[in-house]
Structure 1
Amino acid sequence: MELIKNKIFLLFAAVIFFSLIFTAAAPGTQAEEVDVWKLIGEGEHEKALNWLEAREDIEYNLDLRFARALLWSWQGKEEEALEELYALQELAPERKDVNEQLIRVLGWQGQFAEAEKVAKDFADEEEDAEIMALLAVQAEWQQNWPLASSRWQKAAALAEEEEKAAEYLQASEKAEIEMRDRLSGELEAVFPSEQNYVNLGFTVDRWIRPGLTARVGLDLNEIGTGERPEPVLGFSLLAGSPLLSEKFNLGTGIFYRPDDDRRMEFTLEGGYQFRERQTLILETRAETLSEAGEDSIIDLTPQYTINFDNFVLNLGNTMRRRDDFQADFSQQLRLNFPHNRWRPEIKVRRFFDDEYTLELSFDLAHKDRLSSIGEEFLINLGYSEDELRIGTEIINFAR
């Protein structure tokens, strides 16, 4: 009898022992999943990713693999994220969160056609409002406002909640506004200065097609200073994504000053985003007189811009050639602190003759994208040495 008891005890102990082993080797439990999502919710992304990558059993848990792919995509590891998201989609094609993030990351990479294919495959059985809203946002990234408006309206029709439907309809109206002719009026005064002037300018922008906008402008200088107003006529073409590529934009302009000198000015500006938050801009400006190109000026200005979380840093250098004179005309350091309502800016410039200028300015903006009167109203104040600059700008959309 005692022998039987010992055997039963040993068998019971063995069962407990092996149960503990299998429990330890099993994929992450729900408590562990909640823990990692809590870390993500608290912004502890690095800590959460380290915890996930340290787990040997993560391949058995689709939720944890999705969390890892999500963190990879947020940290700029888009290729790794895409590979994992495609794998998860193959294992669980019905998961909406996987398909949504896959569409989102493809959009970040400019693979809009592939993103649409993923959305179409997922929505074969039933279309989804949030997926359609994602595609609408990507149409906006491509500046395809008619397509964006149509998708927002479709998302509103699919939405189950009235609040969401209203939000999508408002986004559709904003996209339609972007297609309208945009009229801007600007008034600027500088005083006291050796070059006192008041400038009144008007600009009309017309959206032509995704990535291409035409601009016509008229400036009247020296109004109210006792001098005859000097008009400047300009025409510009602004090209960007997706006409060229998702990371490249180009603008060109011709400006004519019908004064006694009949000056012509040509500009060409291109920008390329070669890294996340980092952009290289190259601007060329050529000004010449109509008579045999006398006194021509050519400026070449490379600029390097970095977008940080709370401010934007811009470094620039202008190289000028004027007839036989050629020099590094000026260097510029500019700090901009973007904000919803006001945007302070600090600009320091050093000129070729070792003269320095410091300019402090800020914009106070009021925006109403759906206003029938004006889309944006700006007040700009700037101070540089003994000069005070005051400017206002009103942007209106024609119906």
Structure 2
Amino acid sequence: MELLFVVGARPQFIKIAPILRTIKKNYSEKIDFKILHTGQHYDKNMSDVFFDELKISKPDKNLKVGSGSHTVQMSKMLEGCENYISKIKPDKVIVFGDTNSTLAGTLAASNLKIPVVHIEAGLRSFNMSMPEEKNRILTDHLSSYLFCPTDKAVDNLKREGIYNKKKLKGMDNEQIIVIKCGDIMIDMIRLILKDINNTDIIIKNYPIDKNKYILATIHRESNTDNIFRFKKILNLFNQIEEKILLLAHPRTKKIINEYNIKIPNNVLVKKPVGYEAMVILEKNSKYIFTDSGGIQKEAYFLKKLCLTLRDETEWQETVDLGWNIIGFNDKYNTLLDAYKELKKRENKKLNHPEIYGKINSSKKIIEALLN
């Protein structure tokens, strides 16, 4: 079987790693693969470091699309993906999550009648103003194989008419395959936790103490392209006592510089880090503040309370179980009120079921594709 993986952003580099390890370890005689990197994330700290650290094979092709508006970026990606897929003619094209790279790979493969495999299918935030929501919905409806992390994700697909053995006219195979496989990131995070031996070295890079700091990330357009909302987040940072380590996405750094924003004294603004360092910083934090979907999940895996700096989440299970609070929510008058609610839960014994599976999601995915 010839597979093409289309990746382009930090979360996808993390998700592809356990699958490639599984292929190399157990299925190298049955599967050949190539990697197409769109170049959506091109900053060294957001791209190269992950390939090196997670031992991901170097991309066979890098489109180097760089930054730009959604339309400009998508047009470059789509043209590049279509040209490369036409050239190598894989049996299946595999995409991950909800980025522009995911949609570009999906559209290109679908146009060329190549079956699409969507890993992390079925997620819904029910907010169509988010580019990610549009990307994931379109990808799901064009995919032939949909691997879902949770029961809720499967239910979302059922409601939209995407389910096992349902034939859709014009699709690239005779039936749509929907499989609940658990979350692929569990495989990766458990490998990292097993091998971590640099905890003290990482923590000493910053003037922080274990379990006494808040780890924060901000990168979504709804926060970085809205100065009023961005200042609301910084105002929250200014109102709390804990030291905050803000790992600033290039887009976040740009808005800070562009508007000459004064950073509160308790906030350390630093560059993004590699995956192992990120897991160490998450594991040793007191709380996590983020607008990232992947980090919300990692917070849950690591049993860390999380304040999500968004209006909603596609990981609703974490909210239902009490581990995650949505900051921009009608339930709270201010972000500070949401934070106070988070603190109240610190000493509560919250239920923590394995809603994202245990391990071996990557093996389940490969076995399903082979069979």
Q: Which structure carries more helix by proportion? A: 2
Decide: shared fold, TM above 0.5.
no
Bigger fraction of residues in strand = 1
Could you tell me the TM-score, scaled by structure 1's length? 0.28
Higher relative contact order (CA 8 A, sep 6+): 2
**Which of structures 1 and 2 has the bigger CA Rg?**
1
- Normalised to the residue count of structure 2, the TM-score between the two structures is 0.30
